[in-house]
Amino acid sequence: MPGFDYDLFVIGGGSGGVRAARIAAGEYGARVGLAEESRMGGTCVIRGCVPKKLMVFASAVPDALALGRDYGWDIAPAQFDWPTFRARLDAELDRLEAAYRGGLLGAGVTIHDARATLADPHTVRLATGETFTAKHILIATGGRPHLPEGLGAPVLTSNDIFLLDRLPERLLIVGGGYIACEFAQVMAGLGVGVTQFYRGEQILRGFDDDARALVAEATRGCGIDLQTGTDVAALSEDGQGICVTRTDGARAWFDAVVYATGRHPNTEGLGLEALGITLGARGQIPVDGWSQTAVPSIFAVGDVTDRMNLTPVAIREGHAFADTVFGARPYKADHQLVPSAVFTRPELGSVGLTEAEAAERGPVEIYQTAFRPMKTAFAGRPERVMMKLVVDAGSRRVLGCHIVAPEAGEMIQLAAIAVKMGATKEDFDRTCAVHPTMAEEMVTMRKVTRHHGTIAKG
């Protein structure tokens, strides 16, 4: 395509941008440039999913050791060394970043290690002063943690947790979403005394109510002081640490405070408004089903669009964009029935409608069970797990599946295939159980737990 420096210029080196660049250049031969102002790999690889999951693994070790003793193993007391883990974590992130960079270079993508902004619908300007033109521009700048203004004392975000020189003894986490809940349990597992404030009635808003309640129960069961209906009124520093005044006037002191109260699309200063792109209330870039903005040459994928903020979704959006624009294979990324997982202990896996959402749409049946799993019940532990199916009372199709259990993330990935295919409750029932497993309960629930609505007759 003569007249442009590139066929495609991608702003952002996270999961969605990297996938789009690699497919466009490597599979379709497009001339692609990509600019990333920070580390290649974006939030998920550098300061999100990957390092968090490694911390989840690390934090689960003390519980595994304790369970080993209950199973008869003579295990000496162990102590966690944060600097050792932190060094290994940093090395792993360096390896992953190099792999992402190598994949781009191998596909023929030109990498610019600089911040990029938009000068016009076909021109990007780098912080170095260079400008490049492109027939298509893809914005994949992701999101960033949101902090309230005027807090009165220094606080941390989820980005900072991976960079701590040492672990605090007393930690307050503010928030009730999956990031707050995951890090609360991670830090508690690593030996930190954790308090969690959430202003709402129950944590994990948006997930199924029964699943939320069980995760909250497990959170308190592992020693976290989870306080719902509670928020921070004021912060200050003194000789005892960070003084936190609650909304009810009570005060407590902490060594560190982490705010995990949401993320906002990373669009500030990109120059979008000057080009006629009106941002949404949270700063998100409005796009159509093809990930195209109001300016035809400019597209956006991933968290910056605030559609469904999950890494695999950003990857699908980036791939669909590249196939559509450069591969003559037009299709839209599918945002329906996307599974997700919260990596607490136990994990929460979910796909499809919650019970409340389904009940608003028509008659549904609920099949649900909660029980003590064999592994921990043998050791005399009280922990429970839950399996739940939300079923359309008319079509018998499974509308939602919700699991709270160890490795629920692994289970929901497989269950999501059946739900995505339109499986009915009878399809689940016809599937033979694998015994003895927790997951066998998914195909052995026969009695309806609750009804919502009635099916009209005649």
Active site residue 435: yes
Specify the domain boundaries for CATH 3.30.390.30 within the chain: 340-452
Mean pLDDT estimate for the chain: 97
Q: What pLDDT sits at residue 457?
A: 66
Q: What pLDDT sits at residue 67?
A: 97
Q: Give the contacts of 149 (CB within 8 A, at least 6 positions apart).
A: none
The third-level CATH classification (topology) of the domain covering 158-261 is: FAD/NAD(P)-binding domain (3.50.50)
pLDDT, tens digit, 9 for 90 and up, residues 127-181: 999 999 999 999 999 999 999 988 999 999 999 999 999 999 999 999 999 999 9
Q: What pLDDT sits at residue 2?
A: 57
Percent of the chain's residues with pLDDT above 70: 99
Note whether 171 and 254 are within 8 A (CB).
yes
pTM: 0.96
Which residue, chain included where needed, has tokens 């499986």? Answer: 423
pLDDT, tens digit, 9 for 90 and up, residues 375-393: 999 999 999 999 999 999 9
pLDDT band of 438, cuts 50, 70, 90: very high
Q: What pLDDT sits at residue 118?
A: 98
Calculated CA dihedral for residues 426, 443, 207, 279, nearest 10 degrees: -60
The answer on pLDDT for 458 being more than 80 is: no
pLDDT, tens digit, 9 for 90 and up, residues 185-201: 999 999 999 999 999 99
pLDDT, tens digit, 9 for 90 and up, residues 284-323: 999 999 999 999 999 999 999 999 999 999 999 999 999 9
Which of 335, 435, 451, 452 is flagged as catalytic? 435
The answer on pLDDT for 1 being more than 50 is: no
Specify the domain boundaries for CATH 3.50.50.60 within the chain: 6-144+264-326, 158-261
Q: Which residues of 260-287 are buried (b: 16+ CB within 10 A; e: fewer)?
A: bbebbbbbeebebeebebebeeebbbeb
What's the CATH class of domain 6-144+264-326?
A: alpha beta
Residue ranges in 190-259 assigned as alpha helix (H): 209-221
The third-level CATH classification (topology) of the domain covering 340-452 is: Enolase-like; domain 1 (3.30.390)
**Nearest Cα to 394, choosing from 431, 428, 358, 365?**
365
Helix (H/G/I), strand (E/B), else coil: 370: strand
Mean pLDDT, residues 62-72:
96
